[in-house]
């Protein structure tokens, strides 16, 4: 079997600090035309070439000189691989004997597949050696390699160095003057020894950096496991806020200290041109392991116009109605892009109920001087959803989705997304959504491209 070479450029942090992954694939957002045949051709090229899963450049290895020793608990990072669901990291006592391969090395001393973000805080304290090597590779949902291991990189360990152990935030809000999502998702690289985490929100920069105690400016907190935390509170009150996270053990004792505090700005008066309202497809994320804070998995990233994301993961058409006044009216956008009903229909909520709830949202918009712009529902793939989330889908979902889309296409302002995402069975193909529900990078780009193409016609 031939393997497509995907090599990652590993980065070693000698001091625990903040790191943000950057760089999106190039994408022409201002193409003058968009035709179904072009989409089909592009999709086929993606599927047949395998470029969807290995859109990362091949790079040379990076070795660190003996003059830069690091702690025995270093944080290692690498660029995200589009489509990777998780990663495998390997530590070896000598350079692997077979570079550019997918096989584990015979020199390995430790390896782990419990890596769901593009960073890993290693605990090398049990290895009484001065030099160790590490490399990483990306894996798909089934654990298959998306390419070969990265080049092995040397770590020079100094067991006497004991820096502060703290999570590294991996999300930065308000880049390029973008609006903070109404429901932010906070992400970080986990630390060794922590079984859960506490995210703290403050109204001012915390007065006690590198500490374990809550700030006197705390206005909220939430516990989470893993590497991200979905905020349950709508952040619509104007101001500059900060978030930080600390690790906790099973006895709720602090592991290390709080991360560096990260700012985010809320300003509804500045972001009132357009907004999006919907469930997790709108909120963002994809490929199972990527959250709404992974901007490349957010279709709003690729829009040609400013927009604030009012989406909330898990929403139904009913909950969209329930939170409209509290969540939409503080922004009172000129245009509201509405995509909702998928979660309701796939779990068996009657079509007429969903249509009634979408009608309520439309009427609320019109009563408040907001133009409602509906998006038709994307198809789904029930077998992929069951595989990814162990959730069943009602058998008649296609018929029910069709009824709702017929209703949407009778509205004064709508954009028809669905037909561009059908495979031959009128389902959502894997090359657009690994989990059968949330479009991945290429799917989010396509959503934005269709919206951009039709934006003038629904806003003039």
* Residue 447 maps to a domain: yes
If phi over 0 gives left and psi between -120 and 50 gives alpha, with beta otherwise, what is residue 210? left
Identify whether residues 235 and 299 lie together within a single domain.
no
Identify whether residues 440 and 322 lie together within a single domain.
yes
- Closest by Cα among 387, 304, 372 to 338: 372
Rounded CA-CA distance 152/105 in Å is: 11
Q: Above 50 in pLDDT, residue 54?
A: no
Identify whether residues 132 and 281 lie together within a single domain.
no
Identify whether residues 181 and 101 lie together within a single domain.
no
Structure tokens at 51: 């470029």
Question: What is residue 101's predicted lDDT score, i.e. its pLDDT?
Answer: 85
Read off the pLDDT of each residue in 48-69 and give the average, rounded to a whole number: 40
If phi over 0 gives left and psi between -120 and 50 gives alpha, with beta otherwise, what is residue 226? left
Q: What is the largest CA-CA distance in the chain?
A: 70
Question: What is residue 68's predicted lDDT score, i.e. its pLDDT?
Answer: 78
pLDDT (tens digit per residue) in 251-266: 999 999 999 999 999 9
* Residue 1 maps to a domain: no
Chain Cα centroid distance, residue 350: 31
pLDDT (tens digit per residue) in 412-450: 999 999 999 999 999 999 999 999 999 999 999 999 999
Q: Give the range of the structural domain holding residue 132, as residue numbers without chain letter.
A: 11-156
Give the list of residues 6+ apart from residue 428 with CB closer than 8 angstroms, or none.
Answer: 378, 379, 380, 381, 384, 421, 436, 437, 439
Identify whether residues 340 and 418 lie together within a single domain.
yes
Give the list of residues 6+ apart from residue 198 with CB closer than 8 angstroms, or none.
Answer: 221, 222, 223, 224, 245, 246, 248
* Residue 386 maps to a domain: yes
Q: Domain boundary residue among 227, 246, 266?
A: 266
Cβ–Cβ under 8 Å, residues 99 and 5: no
pLDDT (tens digit per residue) in 76-134: 999 988 889 999 999 999 999 988 888 899 999 999 999 999 999 999 999 888 899 99
Q: Above 90 in pLDDT, residue 56?
A: no
* Residue 3 maps to a domain: no
Span of 36-40, 89-93, 348-352, 399-403 with lowest mean pLDDT: 36-40
Question: What is residue 33's predicted lDDT score, i.e. its pLDDT?
Answer: 36
Question: What is residue 411's predicted lDDT score, i.e. its pLDDT?
Answer: 98
Read off the pLDDT of each residue in 156-175 and give the average, rounded to a whole number: 92
Question: What is residue 67's predicted lDDT score, i.e. its pLDDT?
Answer: 58
Question: What is residue 108's predicted lDDT score, i.e. its pLDDT?
Answer: 94
The pTM for the full model equals 0.86
Identify whether residues 239 and 290 lie together within a single domain.
no
Sign of CA dihedral 118, 124, 127, 129: positive
Q: Above 70 in pLDDT, residue 59?
A: no
* Residue 93 maps to a domain: yes
Identify whether residues 363 and 289 lie together within a single domain.
yes
Q: What is the CA radius of gyration of the chain?
A: 23
- Model confidence band, residue 8 (pLDDT cutoffs 50, 70, 90): low
pLDDT (tens digit per residue) in 199-243: 999 999 999 999 999 999 999 999 999 999 999 999 999 999 999
Identify whether residues 222 and 312 lie together within a single domain.
no
Q: What is the CATH number of the domain that holds 390?
A: 3.40.50.1110
Read off the pLDDT of each residue in 305-309 and give the average, rounded to a whole number: 97
- Closest by Cα among 295, 278, 281 to 421: 281
What is the chain's mean pLDDT, rounded?
87
In degrees and rounded to multiples of 5, residue 361 shows phi and psi of -60, -45
Question: What is residue 129's predicted lDDT score, i.e. its pLDDT?
Answer: 84
Identify whether residues 314 and 414 lie together within a single domain.
yes
Rounded CA-CA distance 111/92 in Å is: 9
In degrees and rounded to multiples of 5, residue 46 shows phi and psi of -60, -45
Rounded CA-CA distance 50/372 in Å is: 38
The percentage of the chain sitting over the pLDDT mark of 70, rounded to a whole number, equals 85
* Residue 139 maps to a domain: yes
Rounded CA-CA distance 292/311 in Å is: 10
* Residue 163 maps to a domain: no
Question: What is residue 28's predicted lDDT score, i.e. its pLDDT?
Answer: 30
Rounded CA-CA distance 396/111 in Å is: 44
Cβ–Cβ under 8 Å, residues 135 and 98: no
Q: Above 60 in pLDDT, residue 47?
A: no
The percentage of the chain sitting over the pLDDT mark of 90, rounded to a whole number, equals 78
Identify whether residues 209 and 106 lie together within a single domain.
no
Span of 60-64, 366-370, 394-398, 417-421 with lowest mean pLDDT: 60-64
Rounded CA-CA distance 315/327 in Å is: 13
Give the list of residues 6+ apart from residue 240 with CB closer than 8 angstroms, or none.
Answer: 263, 264, 265, 266
Q: What is the CATH number of the domain that holds 46?
A: 2.60.40.10
* Residue 6 maps to a domain: no
Identify whether residues 97 and 64 lie together within a single domain.
yes
pLDDT (tens digit per residue) in 265-306: 999 999 899 999 999 999 999 999 999 999 999 999 999 999
Identify whether residues 190 and 315 lie together within a single domain.
no
- Considering its fold, how many domains does the chain have in total? 3
């Amino acid at each position: 079997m031939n393997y497509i070479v995907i090599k990652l450029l590993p980065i070693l942090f000698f001091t625990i600090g903040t790191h943000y992954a950057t760089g999106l694939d190039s994408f022409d957002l201002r193409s003058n035309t968009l035709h179904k045949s072009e989409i089909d051709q592009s999709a086929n090229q993606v599927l047949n070439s395998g470029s969807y899963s290995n859109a990362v450049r091949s790079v040379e290895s990076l070795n660190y000189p003996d003059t830069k020793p690091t702690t025995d608990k270093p944080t290692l990072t690498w660029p995200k691989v589009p489509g990777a669901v998780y990663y495998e990291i390997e530590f070896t006592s000598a350079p692997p004997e077979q570079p550019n391969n997918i096989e584990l090395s015979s020199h390995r001393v430790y390896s782990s597949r419990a890596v769901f973000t593009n960073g890993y805080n290693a605990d090398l304290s049990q290895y009484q050696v001065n030099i160790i090597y590490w490399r990483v590779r990306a894996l798909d949902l089934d654990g298959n390699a998306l390419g070969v291991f990265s080049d092995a990189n040397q770590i020079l360990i100094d067991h006497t160095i004991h820096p502060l152990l703290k999570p590294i935030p991996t999300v930065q809000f308000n880049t390029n003057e973008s609006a903070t999502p109404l429901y932010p998702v906070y992400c970080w690289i986990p630390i060794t020894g922590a079984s859960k985490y506490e995210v703290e929100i403050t109204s001012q920069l915390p007065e006690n950096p590198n500490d374990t105690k809550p700030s006197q400016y705390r206005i909220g907190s939430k516990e989470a496991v893993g590497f991200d935390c979905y905020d349950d509170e709508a952040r619509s009150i104007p101001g500059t806020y900060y978030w930080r996270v600390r690790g906790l053990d099973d006895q709720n004792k602090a592991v290390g200290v709080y991360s560096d505090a990260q700012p985010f700005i809320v300003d509804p008066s500045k972001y009132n041109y357009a907004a999006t309202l919907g469930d997790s497809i709108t909120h963002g994320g994809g490929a199972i392991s990527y959250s709404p804070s992974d901007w490349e998995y957010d279709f709003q990233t690729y829009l040609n116009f400013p927009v604030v994301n009012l989406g909330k993961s898990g929403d139904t058409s009913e909950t969209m109605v329930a939170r409209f006044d509290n969540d939409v009216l503080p922004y009172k956008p000129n245009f509201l892009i509405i995509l909702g009903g998928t979660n309701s229909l796939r779990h068996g909520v009657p079509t007429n109920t969903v249509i009634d709830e979408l009608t309520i949202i439309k009427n609320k918009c019109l009563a408040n001087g907001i133009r409602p712009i509906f998006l038709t529902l994307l198809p789904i793939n029930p077998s992929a959803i069951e595989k990814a989330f162990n959730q069943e889908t009602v058998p008649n979902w296609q018929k029910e989705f069709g009824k709702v889309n017929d209703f949407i296409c009778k509205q004064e302002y709508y954009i028809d997304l669905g037909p561009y995402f059908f495979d031959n069975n009128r389902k959502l193909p894997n090359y657009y959504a690994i989990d059968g529900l949330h479009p991945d990078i290429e799917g989010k780009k396509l959503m934005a491209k269709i919206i951009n193409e039709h934006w003038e016609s629904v806003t003039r």
